[in-house]
Structure 1
């Protein structure tokens, strides 16, 4: 972590968590419900948590996500999205630059259907998501997690690639299932909190390892 990264209030680690607004059949987006649940129930009370709802809009994501990084400069950024295909807490390992032909809520696609012209085809997160998945799965609760390498070539994948382009060492994307399919709002919030704590531990280990070099 650089000196400029925000350690938050009273030197607590600062975490930015985003969820998405409504789109398509998801008139209530489980991702934003889950993110709000984390904040509402103080599941990360020892951290300086910032939450933000982001519209399912390519142009908005292109502008808002970099602005949030600059404004908050958090130790960790976690984007959360909903997937009708998911039945577990799904941890995305990589984001993709191109293939964005699905229209957003404004009926638009990004220029040339890509995130960044001449950007790398794929960017991988520095956080080892398989380790995060293992930690969630061994916790004493009903939650199950898995790792994915395809975030879907829609706003979820797009937002993840934007953040990976800024700093792939300290960002993540988590897909959650729709509400009650099978997890309740509280279970989703608990799953996010578990994942975020595991990510922060891994980042701390990496910093300690770098200091030892």
Structure 2
């Protein structure tokens, strides 16, 4: 029998220049996925974070403290034309860009005692899944220096599979698979949600595999 795994999906609320953050809508859409509900039962939670540094301690940290088995994080990249699968988060912040509350990061290092960076172990597989769904996506090693990177760095400290995916501000994430198999309907949020649901199942499968290795046969 598969071990139960709780999945946490996060998105972000509005911030300066982005009054309607599509990552929040996409996170909520994933939360209604019949496929994910069937696999996880009641172990699916969606958290839309305020785009503030204070929200990392006030909202994200308590959600992580509940011990999710896997975490899928979504954010919007304002200038991106394609999805980006983030392979790592850096222990750094920018003091140039205020958050939605008008506040700057309190320091340049997110965690003065932490490592220079933290990496996700599922980025390569997730990239392949999104490409297989016909979405325009690229790998990324730089999650920026804003709230997306800061929240990702915090979540990657968890002992569970974690992944952050940036989405474009508009529905420009699809490309034709080939000239003989033209793209159909791959630009809409439903297509993004279907592909990301499969990524979420990858995280869950990794979490279950880790649990089996830890506990051994029963």
User: What is the TM-score when the length of structure 1 is the normalising length?
Assistant: 0.82
Deviations 1:17-67 (A, max 9, x none): 010001122211111111111123434122121001101100111332111
Change (3 A) 1:146 1:197: farther
Deviations 1:156-194 (A, max 9, x none): 0000011123x1542221111124234322122122212
Instruction: Find the aligned partners of 2:56 and 2:171 in 1 and give their Cα distance.
Output: 27
Q: Which residue of 2 aligns with 1:3?
A: none
Q: Does 1:171 align with 2:166?
A: no
Write out the 4+ residue segments of structure 1 that deviate beyond 6 Å after TM superposition: none
Q: Does 1:190 align with 2:185?
A: no
> Secondary structure at the residue paired with 1:113?
coil
C-alpha displacement at 1:78, in angstroms? Answer: 1.5
Unaligned stretches of 5+ residues in structure 1? 1-6
Q: Does 1:55 align with 2:50?
A: yes
Q: Does 1:28 align with 2:20?
A: yes
> Secondary structure at the residue paired with 1:187?
helix
User: What is the TM-score when the length of structure 2 is the normalising length?
Assistant: 0.81
Residue pair 1:19, 1:79 contacting (<8 A) in 2 also: yes
Change (3 A) 1:12 1:207: closer
Instruction: Find the aligned partners of 1:191 and 1:16 in 2 and give their Cα distance.
Output: 17
Q: Which residue of 2 aligns with 1:18?
A: 10
Unaligned stretches of 5+ residues in structure 2? 174-186
Q: Does 1:85 align with 2:79?
A: yes
Q: Does 1:146 align with 2:138?
A: yes
Residue pair 1:130, 1:146 contacting (<8 A) in 2 also: no
Change (3 A) 1:70 1:206: closer
Instruction: Find the aligned partners of 2:57 and 2:102 in 1 and give their Cα distance.
Output: 16
Superposition CA RMSD, Å: 2.2
Higher CA-based Rg? 2
Instruction: Find the aligned partners of 1:145 and 1:205 in 2 and give their Cα distance.
Output: 27
Return the match for 1:107 from 75, 99, 102: 102
**Between Structure 1 and Structure 2, how many residues are aligned?**
198
Instruction: Find the aligned partners of 2:207 and 2:100 in 1 and give their Cα distance.
Output: 35
